[in-house]
């Protein structure tokens, strides 16, 4: 698969679903190793079995029906659902070597997803005051197509993004996704775009160079 990732960043694509707790433990270990200079940075593309994850701002009344395992994620944000049909991207980069600008990293991460979706044929955008990636649903209303959640420890990023390719959207009914009750959740499949994970990965990785350019220290831009 063609990729714009430089050699100092490992690309990992998991073909089997990875349990969330297992992925979280791996991210925490890799975070420590990157910070210590003992491992390369990492972009990890994967899928989880059904799980609800709670961010540091999650409110108890936003967990409506805990039909799946609920895991404290340690990232920012509120409740999020992960499951089959959803593409997850965990991005572990050393911001100590990339400008120490967390806002620039989050903005670039959002832009990476938005540009990828545009290449696939779907317009999406940021919405002021609302976390995530948004698009127009089949009824014309605004709906979330992707989630963003980030944690930074030792100046190394953890977590990343999720994009709804073809998940069971009823699974989102157990939570108030990201604490935003007045807007729905949609997917590429619901919008008539049938896309395999491998095709999404290829489109995403073709935009990796633009993403990395967006988080370089200002003096090198």
- Tell me whether residue 154 is in a domain: yes
- Tell me whether residue 219 is in a domain: no
- Tell me whether residue 80 is in a domain: yes
- Tell me whether residue 105 is in a domain: yes
Which segment of 46-55, 174-183, 199-208, 209-218 scores lowest on mean pLDDT?
Answer: 174-183
How many structural domains comprise the chain?
A: 1
- Tell me whether residue 72 is in a domain: yes
More confident residue, 183 or 174: 174
Q: Which domain holds residue 15?
A: 9-212
- Tell me whether residue 217 is in a domain: no
Give the residue numbers annotated as catalytic, written as ranges. 178
- Tell me whether residue 3 is in a domain: no
**How confident is the model over 197-209, as pLDDT tens digits?**
999 999 999 999 9
**How confident is the model over 110-144, as pLDDT tens digits?**
999 999 999 999 999 999 988 899 999 999 999 99
| 146: pLDDT strictly greater than 70 | yes
Q: What is the CATH number of the domain that holds 30?
A: 3.30.930.10
Give 211's DSSP letter.
H
- Tell me whether residue 76 is in a domain: yes
């Amino acid at each position: 698969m063609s990729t714009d990732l430089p050699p100092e960043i490992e690309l990992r694509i998991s073909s089997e679903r990875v349990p969330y707790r297992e992925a979280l433990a791996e991210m925490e270990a890799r975070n420590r190793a990157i910070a210590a200079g003992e491992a390369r940075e990492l972009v990890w593309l994967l899928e989880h079995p059904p799980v609800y994850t709670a961010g540091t701002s999650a409110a108890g009344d936003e967990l409506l029906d805990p039909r799946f395992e609920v895991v404290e994620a340690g990232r920012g944000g509120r409740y999020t659902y992960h499951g089959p049909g959803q593409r997850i991207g965990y991005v572990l980069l050393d911001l100590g070597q990339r400008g120490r600008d967390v806002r620039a990293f989050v903005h670039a991460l959002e832009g990476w997803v938005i540009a990828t979706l545009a290449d696939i044929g779907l317009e999406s955008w940021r919405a002021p005051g609302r976390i995530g990636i948004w698009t127009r649903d089949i009824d014309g209303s605004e709906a979330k197509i992707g989630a963003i959640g980030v944690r930074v420890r030792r100046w190394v990023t953890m977590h990343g993004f999720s994009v709804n390719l073809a998940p069971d959207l009823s699974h989102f009914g157990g939570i108030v996704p990201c604490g935003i009750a007045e807007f729905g959740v949609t997917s590429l499949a619901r919008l008539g775009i049938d896309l395999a994970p491998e095709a999404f990965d290829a489109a995403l990785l073709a935009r990796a160079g633009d993403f990395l350019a967006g988080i370089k220290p200002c003096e090198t831009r």
